[in-house]
Structure 1
Amino acid sequence: MRVDADQRRFARWAVSAGVAWLALFALLTAFSQGSEALARFVANVVYVVPLALLVPLSYLAARRSRGRLRTAWWLLALSNALWLAGELVWSTYAYARPGGPPTPSVADVAYLASYAVALPGIVIGFGGTWAERQVRCLLDSALVTIGVGAVGWTLVVGPLLPGTTKAAAVVTFAQPLFAVAIVTALVVVGLCGHRTVPASFLLAGAGFAVAGLTDAGYAYLFMIHSYGDASWLNLGWQLEAVLLCLAAAVAARRTEPEPEVRGLDRDLAVLPAAVAVLSIAGIALADRITHGQLSRSTLVIAALLVSGLLLRQLLVTRDRTRLAAALAVALREQERLAVTDGLTGLYNRRFFQEMLRLDADRAERDGQPVSIVIVDLDRFKKINDTCGHPAGDRVLVEAADRIRHAVRPADLVARYGGEEFVCLLPGAGEDTALEVAERVRRALSRTPVTLPGGREVRLTASLGVASAGTRGGRPRGDLEGLIHDADGALYRAKARGRDRVVAAGRLADLALDTDPDLPPALVWLADQIDAKLGNHEHSTAVSRWALLTGERLGLRQSDLRRTAAAARLHDIGKINVDDAILTKPGRLGEAEWEVLRRHPQEGARLLTELSDRADLAPLVGAHHERYDGTGYPARLRGDAIPVEARIIAVCDSWAAMRADRAYAAALTEDQARQQIERGRGTQFDPEVADAFLALVDEGAIDELAPLRHPEPATHA
């Protein structure tokens, strides 16, 4: 805000100073009307004051500017220096030569050189446009200059030639034509090729516009021998100098952004075309009136203008063709991006869902099956955490490429989200889908991914397969159910240790994950207890990890199912523990601990009395026993504790330590590992602890999932 206020204050000061100078010069011009000496002093000494200020300001503007604007301001600084040099030569002639400066003179050369340098400076300043537009800008300037010059020469200069010299007329008339060319360049490039124009160049353009009008007036007065030192026309050049000083001051005070290029410019073809047509008509009419026929010079000028217009149209056509090609490429790219993932180049989730719907309809018509495979990269979060997200992106790209080459040519592969991919297998039954999924799994794990720097990352994935239109599978139209089945199969692949393929609905797989004989009421009760214990899953995670640990220890399938079932219900006895104890944030008193220690027995009682799963009661009742015999409720020791309960004890402790509780924050994986190692042989069975920690090292023990409706954290 302070910067904006300073800018406004500076602008007001600069404009006020410029207006004050113009008022002073106008006052001196008025006083000099009756005094030749004062008129000479005002027109040749006072006149150069703003020019002497303009040159250093232009130098500062060039130093402050950047990019193309810097080049433009260096050229404008040279142009202004040439203008000042010309005025100094003119003033020297005015005092040293009784008849005043000759025409043409060295001063005229400096004036023309000043305009000649300013014109490319204007074009370069807006050089962000395409080359065709720059050439078109110069061509438009040339057309307008030739047209205006031809009309001016024919109607104004030509009739006055007997009273002057031809060289003087050419030099004098060239100055306003240069000014017109510069203004034309500003209009064509600034308005047609850019959205924004720097403020300094708007002021400079206004200055050159004033110069064009003033030079035109001077050319006419010179022809009729009416120009003198006391002419009010000098006020026009002073206004030009003031505007250029303001432009240079703006550019010197702050670095201006380069002009913003317009993708599709507004072609002002009407300006050069109108000038060309009117010029040809004007000089042709003048020739018919004065000579009765068209002169050779008129024909040459007409040919130049028509050729320029044709060339201009060719440039416009090239520009439009280039833009059309660029737009076509952009449109194709937008269409590609609409259906593909920007990182991996695979199809995106939206396109997969649309193709799944179309393939399901086709399968329904043809009586063919359709299958999907969901692929989830294992331990991908660790890759991001240890190697960085760029390395994670590199892994995703490599995984996508391996999956793409492992599936059948007709299969569709899409990025489903994050580190998940999905394969659509039209016409594939469950057996074929399993074969494809296994090829994908092997392709991912066969060789490590080499990261920049030479580091290698081992890549594995868990895959879930689901089929529709097969015996025992989903109906072909149940797309949501098909995706749900594949997702469930993927979940079981993760739970069973990752780096494997699991098919939805296969009894051999389901037997390891669920126990259909679990009482639904007690499962619901376990979920209610979990909601009280904290804001993350508990019993489901303990059940999942107990299953993996039992597999690692070589338990039979019947024992595995019993272990997982008991782990799912191990905390149901807490239903009889007062909420004030469960949710107490501080340390429990001895009486409160006594109540809490009864929950294993209460859980065993509920299983015995409220269900026919009395086989689970000893496991639930012993899950807080310690290997050294100091646990509760029966102080069992060593092998007297059922192995299933020893497994649940380790998994239950890990889940409690890895979740936030009211009395303690969650431990990191390393901290929780240290606690398990510290309890090895005292709290925990060493063999069970070692098996569990081996699973942790392999990444098989996953993170706790958040509950949908978390409640306050409680004691374990």
Structure 2
Amino acid sequence: MRRDRWAESAWLSALVISIVLRVVLDRAGYDYLVTVAPYMLVSFATPFVILAGTLRHRPPHRAGWFLMVAAQLFYAAADTLTVLDDWLSGEFLEPTPADLLYFAYYLLIASAVLLFIRRRSPGWDMPSMIDALIVAVSAGLITWVFVLQPLTSNSELPLPAKLTQSAYPVLDLMLLILAVRLAIGTGTRGSVLYLLLGSLVLMLAVDTCYLVQNIVDGGGVSETYLDAVWMASLGLLGSAALHPGVRQFDRRSGTALPDASPARLGILAVAVLMAPGVQVAVWLLGWPLNIPLISGSCAVMFLLVMARMAGLVGAQRRAAITDSLTGLRTRRFFAEALGGECRRAARTGHPVGLLVIDVDHFKRINDGYGHPAGDQVLREVARRLTAASRAGGVVARYGGEEFVVLAPHTGTDELLTLAERFRTEVAGLPVDIGGDLLSVTVSVGAAAAVQPDEEALLRAADEALYAAKAAGRNRSVLADAPVPATRA
């Protein structure tokens, strides 16, 4: 057994023993305070276990875990008040002070999950947000039809009790949205993520069972097995904090957008089909159909799915014209842009400039430092070329270590100045290739013409590049021969 896993194993062993004791003591008919003691032990221990795991493993960003600690402290305090209220009177007069503490728990744990999401995903990750909203609309419809509507229509419940009991499914729904967002968003996968999601899923499931059982049985809820599931949920949360993977859990993902995997699409398909499923279930139960609500939910989900489809199409379009290594435009995109610009120049008579840029001695870099170092050089050169480019230009990776720059409305004098700017930008600072600093230079071939032929322009710039390399590299050369004009 690995040395850094002993605390997690000890915690899980204590959790299993506590769950078994909770069930056995209840079946043996012991006093209420005795039977509930194992549950309270887990409830009180959980925040300190999370704190111990956070301080032991020292994740780079600890704010989310400290929020988890605060949330579980509120949860333990609320459990204490609930047990005392049940032991002293056996009747709940809602809202109780425990309810306020439980509400604070929900808000704190939601803040922690939201912080994890923001740490793990770059930008706003709009696709995951839309997917989570689709699931939320579906879950919200189910919650309203089968939970909130029966609660609000119960004439025997006073208004404060209705509001209090209605707040729990709404807060559970908020937590569900964040859990789905965490599950399907970008970010590193691993045991910590699955333990945290397992804890949230168990908590949401047992809360829902408790509420539904309360509605159906009129308050006659047997809490023994519900307590066991609550304890399992708390145990998984503590295990997540004790796991060594917590150090990498909220590491920022390098993936800009999540994949539209079969599992992800399956979740969305089930969520979308829930609305007609609810309609059929209500019809079978003989309940009155709420046509505006169901129709509105279907319309919202349809619009969200259309937005998601538009995002997928846009992502595929961007991927088709973007080089995966450097983030620059592809050769195909550049060829289309060059042809279009030459046709516009033929109509208007404005000059078009073209630069062909090649990394000097790139094979030596690959052979001497390895292909990962070569890839890092290409990425850094691409970044510097982008930084030095002008508005309206196109910077593309033409192939291998060769780059091209399209400069509309640029004559020969301006083009040579631009070529020198690119060359000096690349050569100005060494490139960090994983601890080693490597000097990198480029050779630049330039060609410009009024109303040019695109093939002739590209050939002239290419010949100028060869001339720059033949002259010793790390220099810019302007094509001497005039570029033929486009034939009418």
Q: Do they superpose with TM above 0.5?
A: yes
Are 2:274 and 1:278 equivalent residues in the alignment? yes
Q: CA distance change for structure 1 residues 264 and 197 in 2, over 3 Å: closer, same or farther?
A: closer
How far apart in 1 are the matches of 2:16 and 2:471? Answer: 65
Alignment partner, residue 438 of structure 1:
none
Counterpart in the other structure of 1:135: 129
Counterpart residue number, 1:118: 109
Cα RMSD of the aligned pairs, angstroms, is: 4.6
2 CA distance for matches of 1:302 and 1:175? Answer: 25
Q: Which residue identity is paired with 1:139?
A: L
1:217 aligns with 2:209: yes
- Structure 2 counterpart of 1:282, which letter? V
Contact between 1:145 and 1:180, CA under 8 Å: does it hold in 2? yes
Q: May I ask how many residue pairs the two structures share in their alignment?
A: 373
TM-score computed with the length of structure 1 as normaliser: 0.44
The Cα shift of 1:146 comes to 0.6
Deviation, 1:247, is 1.4
Contact 2:172 2:204 in 1 (8 A): yes
What does 1:625-704 align with in structure 2 at a 5 Å threshold? none
Q: Which of 382, 392, 413 is residue 464 of structure 2 equivalent to?
A: 413
Gaps of 5+ in 2: 335-355, 361-380, 386-395, 403-426, 432-436, 449-455, 483-488
Deviations 1:455-494, CA, capped at 9 Å, x for gaps: xxxxxxxxxxxxxxxxxxxxxxxxxxxxxxxxxxxxxxxx
CA distance in 2, matches of 1:282, 1:420: 71
What per-residue deviation string (whole Å, max 9, x for no partner) do you get for residues 603-641 of structure 1?
Answer: xxxxxxxxxxxxxxxxxxxxxxxxxxxxxxxxxxxxxxx
| CA shift in 2, pair 1:242/1:350, >3 Å | closer
- 1:246 deviation in Å? 1.1
**Residue number among 32, 49, 53 corresponding to 2:45 in the alignment:** 53
Match of 2:146 among 148, 152, 156: 152
Give yes or no for contact 1:197–1:260 (8 Å, CA) kept in 2.
no
Shift of 1:100: 3.2
Q: Are positions 1:242 and 2:239 aligned together?
A: no
Aligned counterpart for 1:335 among listed residues 331, 334, 338: 331
Alignment CA distance shift 1:146-1:256 (3 Å): closer
Q: Which residue of 1 aligns with 2:350?
A: none
Following TM superposition, by how much is the alpha carbon of 1:103 offset from its aligned partner in structure 2, in angstroms? 2.7
Match of 1:307 among 287, 300, 305: 300
Q: Does 1:40 align with 2:61?
A: no
Q: Label 1:141 to 1:175 Cα distance change in 2 as closer, same or farther (>3 A).
A: farther
Provide, for residues 510-548 of structure 1, a one-character-per-residue CA deviation record: whole Å limited to 9, x for no partner.
xxxxxxxxxxxxxxxxxxxxxxxxxxxxxxxxxxxxxxx
Q: Which amino acid aligns with 2:2?
A: A
Q: Which residue of 2 aligns with 1:106?
A: 97
Following superposition of structure 1 onto structure 2, how do residues 280-295 of structure 1 map, counting pairs within 5 Å?
Answer: 280-283=276-279, 286=282, 290=286, 294-295=289-290
Contact 2:85 2:92 (C-alpha < 8 Å) held by counterparts: yes
Residue 151 of structure 1 and its aligned partner are, at CA, apart by: 3.4
Q: 1:240 to 1:389 in 2, by over 3 A?
A: closer
Partners of 2:25 and 2:34 within 8 A in 1: no
Letter in 2 for 1:275: A
Query: CA separation of 1:56/1:153 partners in 2, compared to 1, >3 Å: closer, same or farther?
Result: same
Compute the displacement of 1:278 (Å). Answer: 2.8
- 5 Å-filtered alignment, 1:104-503, equals 104-127=95-118, 128-131=121-124, 132-133=126-127, 135-136=129-130, 138-153=132-147, 161=154, 164-165=157-158, 167-168=160-161, 171-172=164-165, 174-175=167-168, 178-179=171-172, 182-183=175-176, 185-190=178-183, 192-194=184-186, 196-223=188-215, 224=217, 225-227=219-221, 231-250=224-243, 254=247, 256=249, 258=251, 260=253, 262=255, 263-266=257-260, 268-272=264-268, 274-283=270-279, 286=282, 290=286, 294-295=289-290, 298-300=291-293, 302-311=295-304, 313-315=306-308, 317-318=310-311, 320-322=313-315, 324-325=317-318, 327-330=320-323, 333-335=329-331, 340-342=357-359, 393=439, 396-397=441-442, 400=443, 410=460, 412-414=463-465, 416=469, 419-420=472-473
Report the alpha carbon displacement of residue 237 of structure 1 after superposing the two structures with TM: 0.9
Instruction: Give the distance between the partners of 1:145 and 1:324, measured in 2 at CA.
Output: 32
Q: Provide TM-score, normalisation by structure 2.
A: 0.61
Distance in 1, Cα, partners of 2:42 & 2:129:
34
Q: What secondary structure sits across from 2:168 in the alignment?
A: helix
DSSP 3-state at the match of 1:66: coil
Residues 179, 250 of structure 1: CA spacing in aligned structure 2 closer, same or farther, 3 A cutoff?
farther
- Find 1:22's aligned residue among 8, 19, 22: 19
- For 2:312 and 2:447, the matched residues in 1 are separated by 42
User: Are the aligned partners of 1:347 and 1:413 in contact in 2 as well (CA < 8 Å)?
Assistant: no
Larger radius of gyration: 1
Indicate the SS of the match to 1:341: strand
| Residues 421 and 93 (structure 1), Cα distance of their counterparts in 2 relative to 1, 3 Å cut | closer
Query: CA separation in 2, counterparts of 1:129 and 1:350?
Result: 28
Question: What's the offset of the Cα at 1:312?
Answer: 5.0
Q: 1:218 to 1:175 in 2, by over 3 A?
A: same
SS in 2 for 1:197: coil
Consecutive unaligned residues in structure 1, runs of 5 or more: 353-383, 429-716
Name whichever of 50-59 and 319-328 sits farther off. 319-328
Matched, 1:81 2:81: no
CA–CA separation in structure 2 for the residues paired with 1:124 and 1:90: 29
Cα displacement string for residues 180-223 of structure 1 (whole angstroms, at most 9, x for unaligned residues): 65355434542x33363242232121112112222222113323
Aligned residue for 2:464, secondary structure, equals strand
Report which structure shows greater RCO (CA 8 Å, sep ≥6): 2
Check conservation: 1:284, 1:294, Cα contact below 8 A.
no
